[in-house]
Amino acid sequence: MTKSITIYDTTLRDGSQTEGISFTVNDKLKITERLDQLGVHYIEGGWPGSNPKDRDYFLAVKSLKLKHAKIAAFGSTRRANVKAGDDTNLLELIKSETPTVTIFGKSWDLHVTDIIKTTLDENLKMIFESVEFLRKHKKEVFYDAEHFFDGYKHNSKYALKTILAAQKAKADCIVLCDTNGGTLPAEVGKIVAEVRKKLKTPVGIHTHNDLEMAVANSIAAIEKGAVQVQGTFNGLGERCGNADLGTIVGILHTKMKRKSIADAKIKLLTETSYFISEISNMKLADNHAFVGHSAFAHKGGVHIDAMLKNPLAYEHIEPSIVGNHRRFVTSELAGKMPIILRAKKLNIDLDKKSPESQELLKKLQEMEHAGYQFEAADASFELFMKRALKKYTAFFTLESFKVTTEKRFDGRTFAEASVRLNVQGHEEFSAATGDGPVDALDKAARQALSKFYPDLVQMHLTDYKVRVLNSKEGTAAKVRVLIESQDENDSWTTMGVHENIIEASWEALTDSIEYKLLKDKK
C-alpha cells in the first residue's frame, strides 16, 4: 500500500525570511487558519526562542479552533557544552506548549568544525541529547538534518552518524535538508535511497530553490520513499525561496495519485495561494504552476480553436481541480462556475445561463482587469456581488472628502481629514486628525456615522497594505490597497484600486465600514 505524504508548512518561519516580508502576529494567525482549512498536517509557527513576536504567536494560536493542523515550534539542538535541561532554546520550545517540535542540527562536518566550532563527537551528543530531552517531555519530535546533502557528499560516514544519533534518541521523523539548494534531483534521489536503507525512522525532505530545483528535488525524494515534505506556499523563503507546497500538492494529487491533503480540499489551492500572496504583500507570478492567473490562459489563434474543440489539447489538467479556471485572453471568456459557487456561499442562487450571471461575470472580469483580486478580500467580494445583483442598499453615500498632511518645524507630521456624508437623507460633516491620511479618514468617517450606527465604535483597523500594480507607470501607477478590520466577534478584509492611493484607501475603508454594518444587520 502506498503511504500518504504528510504536508509540513513552514511559511510562517522559513517564508518570513523572504526579503521584504514581515508578518504581524495577526498575519500569522490568519495564514494559520487558512492553511488549516486547506488541510495541511503541520504548521510551523516560528522559533519561540528567537524573538518576542514568535512567542506572542504561540500564546495567541492556542485560542484558534484548528480542525486539521498541528502547530510545530522550531528551534535548534542544545548549544555546545551546555546540558539540554539548561539550554534556553530547548526550554523555550517546551514553554511554547506545541504538540510537535522541530529542531535542526549539523550534518556537515564543515559546519561543526568551522561554524559552531566544536568537536564532531560533541555535535553527535548535542543531537542525541536534544531529541531525547524533548521526547522525555512528551513532544513529537522532527529532526531537521541541516545541510545533509552537502554533508553527505563531503563526508557520508559522518553525515549518517548524525541522523543515526537522532534515530537512537527516538525522533519521530528525520528530515533531510538541502539547505543551500545546490543539489540536483538525481543526487537527491540517490542519497535518499541510500539513507533509507540505513534508517528505520520515517524520512522527510526539506529543499531550497537556489537552482529552481526545490520542487523537483522534493518529488525525487518522495519517489525514493520520503513520507514528509516541508516547504512554503508560493515558494517563499530566504534567497531563492523554498519548495512550493502548492505545486507539490498539485503534483502529488494530479500526477502521482499520492494522498496528501484531502481530495475535497485540492480545489482550495488557488484561493490559498492568492490569500497568502496578499497577506505577505508579494505578488503571485501570473505564470505560477497550477494556481497562477495565466496557468490556464489561452491566447488567440490555433490554441483557442483547439481548446473549444477539446480542452485536453492544451491543458494538462482540468483547472477547476485546483480551484483555478480557464481563460481565453482574446475574448475574456472565463468560466461562470467559480462565481456561481461563491454566490451560493452568500445564499445567492444564480443560474449559469441567466442574464444576471452573465452580467456579473462581465463586471467581475472588468474589475479583475482593472486590478482587483478578491481572493484575499472576501468582504469586498460579498459587497460587489450584492451591489451587482441589486440586493444591497448602501448605508451612506459620499458627498466629499478632503485630506491634508502637514510637517512642522519640529519634525512632527500628522494628517487632517474632513468628510461630508449623506446618511439616511441627512448630511453629516466631520473632521479628524490622525497619524496618517488613512487613519484621519477612518476617524472622520466613523465620527460622522456614529450617531446613526453606534456599533461602529466596536470596529478598528488592524492592518493596511499597499501594492503597486503597474510599476512601469512610475508615480502614475495603479495601487491596490488591502485593509483588514476587526470587531469583537470577527475580522474581515476589503480592498480598493485606483491611481490615487488616497482614493484606493477610501474605497477599501468605506467597504470595511459597510461590511461591518451589513453583517451586524443580518
Separation between Cα atoms, residue 269 and residue 271, nearest integer Å: 6
Give residue 417's domain range: 397-521
Query: Which 3-state string (H, E, C) describes 38-83?
Result: HCCCEEEEECCCCCHHHHHHHHHHHHCCCCCCEEEEEEECCCCCCC
Give the pLDDT confidence score for residue 376 in this predicted structure.
Answer: 74
Same domain flag for 170 and 257:
yes
Same domain flag for 364 and 383:
yes
Same domain flag for 462 and 347:
no
CB contact at 8 A, 447 and 432: yes
Separation between Cα atoms, residue 32 and residue 48, nearest integer Å: 16
Strand pairing report for 413-423 and 397-407: antiparallel
Same domain flag for 83 and 15:
yes
Look at residue 124 and tell me whether its pLDDT is greater than 50: yes
Mean pLDDT of the chain: 90
CB contact at 8 A, 172 and 210: no
CB contact at 8 A, 201 and 220: no
Give the pLDDT confidence score for residue 332 in this predicted structure.
Answer: 41
Separation between Cα atoms, residue 327 and residue 323, nearest integer Å: 13
CB contact at 8 A, 439 and 496: no
- Average pLDDT estimate for 243-260: 96
Lowest-pLDDT choice from 119-123, 166-170, 171-175, 422-426: 422-426
Share of the chain above pLDDT 70, in %: 93
Residue 26 amino acid letter: N
Separation between Cα atoms, residue 276 and residue 313, nearest integer Å: 32
Select from 388, 415, 431 the last residue of a domain. 388
Strand pairing report for 327-328 and 297-298: parallel
Separation between Cα atoms, residue 391 and residue 295, nearest integer Å: 34
CB contact at 8 A, 95 and 48: yes
Q: What is the pLDDT of residues 508-522, one digit of tens each?
A: 999 999 999 998 886
Same domain flag for 428 and 381:
no
* 251 within domain boundaries: yes
290 or 388, which is more confident? 290
Concatenated DSSP letters of 279-304: HHT-PPPTT-TTTSTTTTEE-SHHHH
Region of 39 on the Ramachandran plot (φ > 0 left; ψ -120 to 50 alpha; else beta): left
- Average pLDDT estimate for 232-248: 97
Same domain flag for 322 and 377:
yes
Separation between Cα atoms, residue 364 and residue 384, nearest integer Å: 9
Same domain flag for 450 and 489:
yes
CB contact at 8 A, 108 and 151: yes
- pLDDT range class, residue 385, cuts 50, 70, 90: confident
- pLDDT range class, residue 333, cuts 50, 70, 90: very low
* 288 within domain boundaries: no
* 128 within domain boundaries: yes
Give the pLDDT confidence score for residue 220 in this predicted structure.
Answer: 98
Give the pLDDT confidence score for residue 334 in this predicted structure.
Answer: 42
CB contact at 8 A, 308 and 253: no
Contacts of 9 (CB under 8 A, 6+ apart): 35, 40, 42, 43, 44, 69, 230, 231, 232, 233, 245
Residues β-bridged to residue 485:
461, 492
Maximum mean pLDDT: which of 160-169, 278-287, 492-501: 160-169
* 287 within domain boundaries: no
Count of structural domains within the chain? 3
Select from 236, 254, 280 the last residue of a domain. 280
Region of 425 on the Ramachandran plot (φ > 0 left; ψ -120 to 50 alpha; else beta): left
Establish how many alpha carbons lie within 13 A of residue 507's alpha carbon, considering only the half-sphere containing its beta carbon: 21
304 or 367, which is more confident? 367
* 202 within domain boundaries: yes
Look at residue 181 and tell me whether its pLDDT is greater than 90: yes
